[in-house]
């Protein structure tokens, strides 16, 4: 993060940091990695980091309309890119009328301060002031113009909207709205340490509102920082979306089974499997750094798995050393995908993905599935999971896999569309369960 002479607890500091994160996303970096890079080179306090993160995520949810407004308010795209990012972030704050954190004057004033403090943007502080004040004066006329475009109306790329319309002609609008809503904080109660009923009583005694939304799932009425979640450090609960919590029960693991969690990082499903039964579990991921995330989660839960770094496409006919040749009773295949079903948690995904990504990832995932099938015992079960909404990565993938491998398809939820309601509130995941009949 570029060092600037701004108070770390000021909105200007937060806007400046978020502007740099937006630049990184536009250049192709995922937002979590962009933020991690910024924080590693900054003097930001924990509170300042939280502010930068919140502003960055808000901007990703408002990027379509903010860019549309800048197209009307500026004669040409603002340069340098960090200026573009600053204006995007400030406009996103001004657009956040449902729950405004700052009054309009403060946003404009602090955006100008952020520009003035940065040598790259100091020449443009007058431009920042003029553009933001013009938006406030002409908001009523500008927004209808922007909302005539799909990206401006929905804050998604046009190709994404068109693809949803084709796949889900009745539900596409509800899916887009769900993806724009802030996600809930859903917890998985560790059945080895406590029960949902007991944990809800603990929260109630502390005045924390929550409700049960699944067999082991509890949703807090208001999200809080992880460090403030009662019992998290002690392993009583983990953060996991309600839809993702379906994986472990579907795989039906029993004591003594040998289980593979392929593509396992960051380890949410790994932990849930180990909470369900005493199993011999191998957690595989291609990135050794991501395996450390799994290890940290398991240490907190006081559970154990064999962590292996390797390619899920290898280890069968082409052994890369991670598989010992012993077949598995159960395999969880959480295969690579575009992650189009979890954009409410990762709003940058919609701007990072390209139309061609779906076909490329579907090909990679089909290779992984065919290879893992070799490692499954006769009568064993493999659970295919994706966090995608695109049929090419989900239902089409499952149907083609079953045909190629003569796999028996067992009952499973199939495509879960993302919802953001009082009764049902979960991400968009896909589940297909298969059983092996031969060697």
Phi, psi torsion values for 386, nearest 5 degrees: -135, 155
**3-class DSSP state of 326:** coil
CA pair distance 337, 276, nearest whole angstrom: 26
The dihedral built from the CA positions of residue 124, 128, 134 and 140, taken in this order, carries a sign that is positive
Residue 94's contacts (CB-CB under 8 Å, 6 or more residues apart) are: 104, 107, 132, 135, 136
What stretches of 310-407 adopt beta strand conformation (E)?
328-334, 376-386
**To the nearest 10°, the Cα dihedral for 248, 418, 152, 38?**
-20
Residue 370's contacts (CB-CB under 8 Å, 6 or more residues apart) are: 401, 404, 405
CA pair distance 151, 164, nearest whole angstrom: 13
CA pair distance 123, 145, nearest whole angstrom: 30
Classify burial at 10, counting beta carbons within 10 Å of its beta carbon; exposed 0-12, middle 13-18, buried 19 or more: middle
For β-strands 280-285 and 306-309, DSSP reports them as parallel
**80 cis-preceded (ω within 30 degrees of 0):** yes
Enumerate the active-site residues. 387
Candidates 260, 253, 274; CA nearest to 188 is 274
């Amino acid at each position: 993060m570029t060092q600037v002479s701004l108070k770390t607890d000021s909105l200007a500091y937060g806007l400046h940091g978020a502007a740099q994160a937006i630049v990184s996303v536009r250049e192709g970096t995922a937002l979590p990695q962009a933020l991690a890079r910024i924080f590693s080179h900054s003097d930001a306090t924990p509170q300042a980091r939280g502010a930068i993160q919140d502003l960055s995520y808000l901007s990703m949810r408002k990027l379509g309309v903010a860019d549309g407004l800048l197209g009307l308010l500026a004669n040409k795209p603002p340069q340098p890119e960090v200026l573009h990012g600053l204006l995007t972030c400030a406009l996103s704050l001004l657009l956040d009328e449902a729950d405004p954190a700052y009054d309009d004057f403060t946003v404009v004033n602090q955006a100008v301060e952020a520009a003035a403090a940065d040598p790259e943007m100091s020449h443009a502080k007058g431009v920042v002031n003029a553009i933001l004040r013009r938006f406030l004066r002409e908001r009523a006329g500008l927004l209808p113009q922007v909302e005539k475009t799909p990206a401006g109306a929905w804050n998604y790329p046009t190709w994404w909207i068109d693809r949803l319309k084709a796949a889900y002609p009745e539900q596409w609008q509800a899916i887009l709205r769900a993806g724009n809503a802030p996600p809930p904080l859903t917890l998985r109660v560790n059945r080895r340490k406590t029960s949902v009923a007991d944990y809800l009583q603990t929260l109630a005694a502390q005045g924390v509102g929550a409700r049960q939304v699944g067999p082991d799932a509890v949703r807090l009425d208001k999200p809080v920082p992880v460090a403030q979640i009662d019992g998290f450090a002690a392993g009583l609960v983990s953060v996991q979306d309600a839809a993702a919590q379906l994986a472990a029960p579907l795989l039906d693991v029993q004591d003594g089974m040998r289980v593979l969690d392929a593509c396992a990082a960051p380890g949410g499903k790994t932990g849930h499997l180990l909470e369900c039964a005493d199993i011999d579990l191998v957690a595989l991921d291609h990135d050794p750094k991501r395996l450390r995330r799994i290890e940290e989660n398991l240490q907190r839960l006081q559970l154990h798995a064999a962590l292996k770094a390797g390619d899920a496409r290898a280890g069968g006919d082409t052994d890369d050393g991670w598989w010992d040749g012993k077949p598995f009773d159960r395999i969880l295949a959480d295969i690579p995908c575009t992650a189009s079903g979890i954009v409410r948690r990762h709003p940058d995904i919609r701007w990072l993905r390209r139309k061609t990504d779906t076909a490329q990832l579907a090909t990679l995932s089909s290779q992984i599935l065919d290879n893992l099938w070799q490692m499954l015992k006769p009568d064993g079960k493999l659970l295919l999971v994706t966090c995608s909404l695109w049929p090419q990565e989900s239902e089409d993938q499952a149907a083609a896999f079953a045909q190629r491998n003569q796999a028996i398809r067992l009952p499973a939820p199939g495509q879960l569309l993302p919802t953001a309601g009082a009764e049902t509130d979960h991400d968009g995941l896909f589940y297909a369960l298969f059983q092996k009949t031969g060697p």
